[in-house]
Chains A and B, each alone.
Chain A
Amino acid sequence: MRHLLSAADLTRDEAVLILDTASELATVTDRSVKKLPTLRGRTVVNLFFEDSTRTRISFEVAAKRLSADVINFAAKGSSVSKGESLKDTALTLEAIGADAVIIRHGASGAPHRLAHAGWIGGSVINAGDGTHEHPTQALLDAFTLRRHLTNGEGDLAGVRVTIVGDVLHSRVARSNVLLLQTLGAHTTVVAPPTLLPVGIESWPCDVSYDIDTALTDADAVMMLRVQGERMRAAFFPSANEYSRAYGLNAERLRTMRPGSIVLHPGPMNRGMEISADVADSDRSVIVEQVANGVSIRMAVLYLLLGGNTKGQGS
């Protein structure tokens, strides 16, 4: 692996390797010295064109635990907000000597451009691009699913996952559908028809408009954040109607299998797609997802930067 741009880039074995590596690295969090010397002398840039404190901090902690030097390059307050192009920013980072660039960008495909336009030589990690993908989120979700639903090893063969919410605009949903397919899980996406992309029938998942039937045999449900502005753009009539039809509440949770779990990539709209009692219930693994995010990002950074990075295939 040279870059991590899309969950689709990963084979089953590569994905399992990342999960296994994350399992080993997770133990570092429990130690008194939460630091490894592995990436000493490597420079990792957090290039965030969109605000996302939680994702940025997760990558920052991950890189620092591996002893990499971390530079946070936020669009706000930097030359980017003065209209500097992605290319010029990239050339600057290349001149600084960045070994990896972790990019969050509002434009779908921006990480792909950064990796392949010939502007920089380092690794590129997609930390969320537009409405395209967020592969490390899918990996941390898979890691969380594996811990709870399988014996913590191998892939997710046979696991049934239901993803509910704004699939159309969700990079989390795209990456998850792809990765879950790679890992052998069975996925159902649930949303009002307006929030499903054209062509969803060709995705490797089942599609439903009815949350209640899609929950009954699920081992896990993943709730997606729904943004209020979608309402104003006529994707659905009101927050109340959305919540009634597609929100996860205690009543719906009771219809799910014993031992099934609830995930959410955060930040949550409590009362909208998920009720407060569900978010705080013992079936919710939402806080654990955050911790797992650090382990997964350490694993990705180690596997991309921990060895000889020259002459690798992508």
Chain B
Amino acid sequence: MDVSRAHIVLDDADIGRAIRRIAHEIVERARGSEGLILLGIPTRGVLLAQRIADAIAATEGTDVPTGSLDITLYRDDLRLRPARALESTSIPVEGIDGKTVVLVDDVLYSGRTVRAALDALNDLGRPAAVRLAVLIDRGHRELPIRPDFVGKNLPTSFAEQVRVEVAEIDGHDRVTILESPEPPTAEHEGGQRR
């Protein structure tokens, strides 16, 4: 990657603050942590969901169940690429019926991933409410979807890529914008996922 054309939008301290703020807002909105479930969308959304859960535990002293929700089988663009390997879906044993499910993803862009996640949730049960938490909202929505909790709003152009890196996978926490005219590579395509 050509780092000279990338600039850092959030560093590790910024991300930590954003997570804590989102955690706080989620609890505030739900008037406590009772009945909450955090479902991350693989891969980085799952890690962010766990960090939000850790932040809630630190301030509230309660453990919010977390899980992962793979949306691959619900994507609307399956036929644009060869079949993809599935990510893990793991739903807390108590299920989602009657719960407030917070979907967590790293970047919100077209909204299609969230649309697929809502379809997937629908097949898993009937939550009392579904909320959406994202670290970055980069705009350019193609569906009527808006986030409830946002780490940072980041206006971007189509040509730009937003890259979210987390310590568990990438060795450090960082969000960068790449002014790359080239199409994104497979994994770090948070900003381009459609």
Q: Which residue numbers of A lie inside 8 Å of B, CB to CB?
A: 17, 20-21, 24-25, 27, 31-33, 35-38, 66, 302-309, 312
Contacts and interface: CB of A to CB of B under 8 A. Distances in A.
B86 A21 contact: yes
B86 A307 contact: no
Interface stretch (B22-30, B74-82, B128-136, B185-193): B74-82
A312 B79 CA distance: 12
Contact of A24 (B78, B80, B88, B125): B88
Contacts of B81: 307-308
6 contacts: A24-B89, A31-B123, A37-B119, A306-B73, A306-B78, A307-B81
B83 A36 contact: no
Contacts of B125: 32
Contacts, number: 52
A69 to B, nearest CB: 16
Contacts of A37: 73-74, 119
Contacts of A306: 73, 78, 83-84
Contacts of A303: 83
Given A24-B88, A36-B74, 17 more contacts: A20-B85, A20-B86, A21-B85, A24-B70, A24-B87, A27-B89, A33-B122, A35-B123, A36-B73, A37-B73, A66-B73, A302-B83, A303-B83, A305-B83, A306-B78, A308-B79, A308-B81
B58 interface: no
B124 interface: yes
Contacts of B80: 308
A303 B86 CA distance: 10
A34 to B, nearest CB: 9
Interface in B59-74: 70, 73-74
A307 B82 contact: yes
Contacts of A25: 86
Given A308-B80, A308-B81, A36 B86 contact: no
